[in-house]
Amino acid sequence: MNTSQIVISHKFSNSSHHALAGWISERGEPTCTELPAGRLPTVKRAYNILGLRKENKAFWPRGVLVMVDNRAIDAQRDELATLRERVRCELVLEREGYRLDKEATAQRSAKNLKFRRGEGEIIIVNHGGKGWWDPTNPDRSARGDVIKLVQHLKPGLNLGHVRRELRNLIGLEPSYEVRERVKPTSTDANQKRDPAWMWEHRNPPQQGSAAWRYLSEERGLPDRILDAAAKQNLLREGPNGTAWFAHRDNQGQLSGMEMRGPEYRGFSTGGIGKRLFRFESDPGVPPSRVVVAEAAIDALSFASMDRFSRNTLYLSTGGGMSPESVGELKQVLADVAKRPEGRLVIAVDNDQQGDHYAALYSQMAQEVGLWNGRASPKTPGSDWNQVLRARGNKESSAPRPFGELAGSATSTTPTPQVAAGWVDELKSRKRQQPQPVPQADQAAPSLKRSGSPSMGGR
């Protein structure tokens, strides 16, 4: 039994006494405490009476007998202390592919030993192998003992899993195998600037990692959106907690990455440059609706609040567009315009630069005969990620048909061109809508939903 054994009963019959006697004989005599009757003790006071750890939360009714076997807790504490004392951090790092840096080889007796694995992956071991810290962590919070080291390298493990992993390492010694640092040639340097090479040598962010925390905590993106983006091979975790967002051409080739982090913002060098970041609401289904934003985080933010997400492709241009990326976007819009309900939502920022992009994307949509409308935050100067963070953790409502959206849309152009077949369907839906009630007869004015992406412009 890994936690305290607690037996609670209001009335003790003879059978109950026999059961308790058997329980005591099997486990040895536990600590017995009679909580005072007359008033309900608080949880904090019960902890003080019973000497329980806070993780063993329980609420006690009046006048009950609480029997606690603290031996399981003591055994767990003793095991954790043994693991901290007898398992070295260097051994854990070597099991995960880290190697001692060559410059630190002559300093085996030094207080700090530097271990490396990949580019930008560094762990410093100190306190004689019982402590460590990660110099690449932006908030310097990645540090601690050998137990926290395993949880840092494998964020998905709980304390029980960590204990099972470390039990097999008790008493073993690290090999201190040296990692040779070869001076890169010009060819190697060019290869490491290649986006495809960088992408292959990085892992997707996982729950608890620095990049995941940046996207979920600082940027407010829901876990379901990050999970979906990772499954579509759109995310990588870079150094110092940065998140990389894949840009690909229409043939699916990786062209570069948008890079965002707590202290960095840019685009990868090398490769063929910016194309389009593409996040699909229904992977494998040809989209009938396209949402284009200025940044990948804005596109994912819009997607997390979007109530019309069915068969939608969320794009990011990464800001300014090259002639090649303009051609790629035109081809995507032309393909969507062939579908009866094809439309383009221009989800740009509410600023002067957003006005420029909205006019550009609207003109591109008109050239291929695609319905288009602008959706920008109401607050001047804001973007869709700021809207998402202002909403907090509110989930968007269930996706609705686009007919509700098109009935109240405000287009960026006076006479947008609409794909054939959509006009008749829109007229049919409008005829089915009930006539509006006069203002004087309404019981109360309707309130517009706030915080969700809308087509009403600013």
Q: DSSP per residue over 270-310, as a string?
A: STT---BEEEESSTTSPPSEEEEESSHHHHHHHHHH-S--T
The SS3 assignment for 237 reads: strand
pLDDT in tens, 273-316: 899 999 999 998 999 999 999 999 999 999 999 988 889 999 99
The SS3 assignment for 319 reads: coil
Cross-strand bridge partners of residue 261: 264
Could you say which DSSP state residue 395 is in? P
Question: Does residue 88 carry a pLDDT above 50?
Answer: yes
* CA–CA dist 93, 118 (Å, integer): 12
Q: Which two tokens stand for residue 289?
A: 């609706």
> Residue 164, Cα to own-chain centre: how many angstroms?
27
Domain ranges of the chain: 6-69, 79-179, 203-433
Give the number of C-alpha atoms closer than 13 A to the C-alpha of residue 259, restricted to the C-beta side.
Answer: 19
pLDDT in tens, 97-126: 898 887 665 555 567 888 888 777 889 998
Question: Does residue 44 carry a pLDDT above 60?
Answer: no
Average pLDDT over residues 234-247: 93
* CA–CA dist 199, 75 (Å, integer): 45
Single-letter residue type at 198 = M
Choose from 66-70, 305-309, 383-387 the range with maximum mean pLDDT: 383-387
Question: Does residue 61 carry a pLDDT above 70?
Answer: no
Q: Which two tokens stand for residue 90?
A: 């260097």
Q: Which two tokens stand for residue 189?
A: 């340097």
Could you give phi then psi for residue 255, rounded to 5 degrees?
-110, -25
pLDDT in tens, 392-414: 865 554 444 433 333 334 333 33
**Fold equal for 79-179 and 203-433:** no
Choose from 130-144, 162-176, 339-353, 398-412 the range with maximum mean pLDDT: 339-353
> Residue 214, Cα to own-chain centre: how many angstroms?
8
Report domain 79-179's class: alpha beta
- pLDDT band at 430, cuts 50/70/90? low
CATH topology of domain 203-433: Dna Topoisomerase Vi A Subunit; Chain: A, domain 2 (3.40.1360)
The span from the first CA to the last CA of the chain, in angstroms, equals 60
Question: Does residue 225 carry a pLDDT above 60?
Answer: yes
Burial (Cβ within 10 Å: 0-12, 13-18, ≥19) of residue 93:
buried
Nearest to 243 by CA among 253, 251, 225: 225
